[in-house]
Structure 1
Amino acid sequence: MTMAAAIEGRTAEARAWSKPGRIAGVDVVHDLAAAEASWRSLESPKRSCTPYQRFDFLAAWQRQVGERKGLQPFIVIAHDSEFRPLMLLPLARKAARGVRCASFMGGKHATFNMALWDRDFATSATPADLEALISAISARSEADLLALHQQPLRWQDMQNPLALLPHQPSVNDCPLLTIEPGAAPATLISNSFRRRLKGKERKLQPLPGYRYHVATTDADVTRLLDWFFRVKPKRMAEQKLPNVFAEPGVEDFIRAACMAPLATGGRAIDIHALECDDEVIAIFAGVADSHRFSMMFNTYTMSASARYSPGLILMRDIIDHFAGKDYRAFDLGIGSDEYKRLFCKDDEPIFDSFIPLSPRGRLAAGAMSGINRAKRAVKQNAALFEIAQRLRSMFR
């Protein structure tokens, strides 16, 4: 290429980046308050993000959990020439073994991770746009690696632009129930399964005040969470599982997010409950937008009512509730638990990206990628997975 052609090419590229609606600059912000205005502007209906990336959800997580883990906000904001935000990556950074790694805020409490996008930009984004974004982050020399886990290939009707970058399948897929417009209940949950649940529910219906409801008042939220944090540790001990809700800051995060009201209605985390006058029978909590409900955590009573599968009855009620509100999808979170297959027959593919920003990050990216591929191979092989489960139980 001649010098004149090279100059002409760079000039054309500069013009493209200077146009409204195309990336003109990239900022990295280390303070939640400084990012809040741009962040909330990308949460409007004309933008695209999952409920797990709302400011109220992740700000509560970062302040209660992230800070205790030594994680610093690493919020990437790309804007056009008129300084309108085009995308925001809500990341947190931590140094380990000499590598500064930035990953999505939310940790294991977020089923899906995704940038917040201006839809017009997202639907027209090209590989060159994404490469330029990564180059701009790399040029700041503030991180060695982006480790971006559990990203959906699509959200609602939009392809995830980060899928244009090199990526690989996540360790697990996500069981999914797709709800077609106007679908009859029998098409969502089989008639035979519904009859089984109705038979079990008849044992609960005589209980005084038996009801399904969504917590709407602060008093209800507090009461249900107080019960959850008493009962869940007992249920996990029964299953010989570690109590993840006892980790520093986790209870405070959940309480803060369940209390945070959204401008569109509901809360950052909604609680659905099955109750009677004498006790809480079961709860499921999750996040919702106008399209999808995603389950986060649940538990059920220690009383004799537990024998009638109240958790399954509550899941049926939740599915019917959101189908009646014209939602299009429902998921029970990532994982292969058998009960999830009773409701969610499909799998939603999700992906990970390990993007080096420095030579040191390149070595770490290769190692992380290999470990995740090995984990997925084990999960996909029933014999290997059973061996892994036995070993885990022995060491636990």
Structure 2
Amino acid sequence: MTMAAVIDSRTAQPRPRAKGIARVDILTDLAAAEPIWRALETQGRFCSPYQRYDFLSAWQHAGRHENASPFLVVAVDAEQRPLALLPLVLTRAHGFRVAIFMGGKHTTFNMGLWDRDFAASATSADLDRLLTGLRAHDAADVLALTQQPMDWHDLRNPLALLPRQPSVNDCPLLAMPADAAPTDLLSNSFRKRLKSKEKKLQALAGYRYSIATTDVEITGLLDWFFKVKPARMAEQKLPNVFAEPGVEAFVREACLARLASGNRAIDIHALTCDEEVIALFAGVADGVRFSMMFNTYTLSPNAHWSPGLILMRHIVDHYASQGYRALDLGIGADDYKRQFCKTDEPIFDSFIPLNVRGQLAASMLSAVNRGKHVVKHSPALLGLAVRLRQALR
């Protein structure tokens, strides 16, 4: 019986207590991994929404990643029950075979998908068995596992048991306690300022806040986004990452992908009026946390009234009313993020050699990211780096 068949046959059965890793398999075909992947998404569900099959399969298929082949690490117990799936891709860098998380620049958080019981009890010995299984395949020289959350939904990330270092950037976070009043999440003075600005927008015919639900709504908002975002990025002298091959196709496919719950893999929130789209923010949600992916706002004079901040206030209130417990605006310390997110979430990287060649690769990659971390956390060095980058452009 194939592994996929075993998974299907066990889906409806009671879940026994997780046992230790007995075998590590490498799958290179997304379709072959799909039954295992979806089972881990639904049974125990210890992963971020960035690791959903519908999200990452869109990235792999539509993103034209010819130089990043699927490298899906599946750990199973003695009964062939999956304990973990690491959604990786295999690339080559400086002559080394490097395994990295799928999703590239478009995932704020990178994680494995875990059996929750196993994740809660995992030890360093379990992770050693995982690495031993990987080394036996001799398919990669080094694991370069970046932007990983230390915890997810109050449970420690098992990969935090591996050697680690702080990521280049932090992630600003807004905690949303169950008993918090709206003014506990955003100050009363900040709300008053935004409401005053929103009165100007409320005078526009058809002004409204909404979440796109139909294919027509989603497609229309994305058509507008891909026209406006390049202009906004050029205005800020930033490279247009959305113009890279396959990115637009990936975003469109993921935004239209419908989950088993009926929601979309990426949710789009917008402020609109009869004349135009005023602001758009899109991100991923899992019933507990909302995480921002991309955004932009109008080029018209309506931009004067801070529509992006107004839309964020609507988003915070929406998810608070839905019982969510956290919200983040993505990696990085942009000023607008600090108006909503007052704390930082610990994010870490791990560079793990899998053979002798990988030891050199791990040392190089670790040193590069440590250097970037130092620059990002030094105002003087960061300012110098920004000026140098602008001069080179």
Q: Same fold (TM over 0.5)?
A: yes
Q: 2:158 matched to 1:161?
A: yes
Q: 2:201 matched to 1:204?
A: yes
Q: 2:307 matched to 1:310?
A: yes
The aligned amino acid for 1:332 is L
8 Å CA contact 2:56–2:103 kept in 1: the answer is yes
Q: 2:72 matched to 1:75?
A: yes
8 Å CA contact 1:145–1:357 kept in 2: the answer is yes
Q: Return the alpha-carbon distance in structure 1 between the equivalents of residues 78 and 345 of structure 2.
A: 36
2:44 aligned to 43, 46, 62, which one? 46
Query: What SS is found at the alignment partner of 2:287?
Result: coil
Q: 2:219 matched to 1:222?
A: yes
Aligned partner of 2:180 in structure 1 is 183
Query: 1:259-297, CA deviations, whole angstroms, 9 ceiling, x for partnerless residues?
Result: 000112311101000001111000000000011000000
Q: 1:233 to 1:247 in 2, by over 3 A?
A: same
Q: Return the alpha-carbon distance in structure 1 between the equivalents of residues 111 and 64 of structure 2.
A: 18
Aligned partner of 1:94 in structure 2 is 91
1:297 aligned to 294, 299, 311, which one? 294
Q: How does 1:1-396 map to 2 (within 5 A)?
A: 21-44=19-42, 46-65=44-63, 67-68=65-66, 70-396=67-393
Q: Return the alpha-carbon distance in structure 1 between the equivalents of residues 196 and 34 of structure 2.
A: 49
Query: What SS is found at the alignment partner of 1:48?
Result: coil
- Superposition RMSD in Å: 1.0
The aligned amino acid for 2:390 is S
Query: What SS is found at the alignment partner of 1:47?
Result: coil
Aligned length: 377
Q: Return the alpha-carbon distance in structure 2 between the equivalents of residues 21 and 222 of structure 1.
A: 45
Q: 1:20 to 1:159 in 2, by over 3 A?
A: closer
Query: Could you list the runs of 4 or more consecutive aligned residues of structure 1 that deviate by over 3 angstroms after TM superposition?
Result: none
Query: 1:46-66, CA deviations, whole angstroms, 9 ceiling, x for partnerless residues?
Result: 220000000000000011225
Larger radius of gyration: 1
Q: Return the alpha-carbon distance in structure 1 between the equivalents of residues 153 and 362 of structure 2.
A: 29
Query: What SS is found at the alignment partner of 1:306?
Result: helix
| Superposed displacement of residue 94, structure 1 | 1.0
The aligned amino acid for 1:293 is F
Q: Return the alpha-carbon distance in structure 2 between the equivalents of residues 246 and 85 of structure 1.
A: 38
Query: What SS is found at the alignment partner of 1:134?
Result: helix
| Superposed displacement of residue 21, structure 1 | 2.1
Q: 1:66 to 1:83 in 2, by over 3 A?
A: farther
Q: Return the alpha-carbon distance in structure 2 between the equivalents of residues 20 and 344 of structure 1.
A: 36
The aligned amino acid for 2:51 is Q
Q: Return the alpha-carbon distance in structure 1 between the equivalents of residues 379 and 194 of structure 2.
A: 30
8 Å CA contact 1:20–1:81 kept in 2: the answer is no
Q: Return the alpha-carbon distance in structure 2 between the equivalents of residues 37 and 66 of structure 1.
A: 23
The aligned amino acid for 2:206 is G
In structure 2, runs of 5+ residues without a counterpart are 1-16
8 Å CA contact 1:48–1:116 kept in 2: the answer is yes
8 Å CA contact 1:64–1:250 kept in 2: the answer is yes
Q: Return the alpha-carbon distance in structure 2 between the equivalents of residues 172 and 290 of structure 1.
A: 25
The aligned amino acid for 1:113 is N
Give me the identity figure in percent: 65
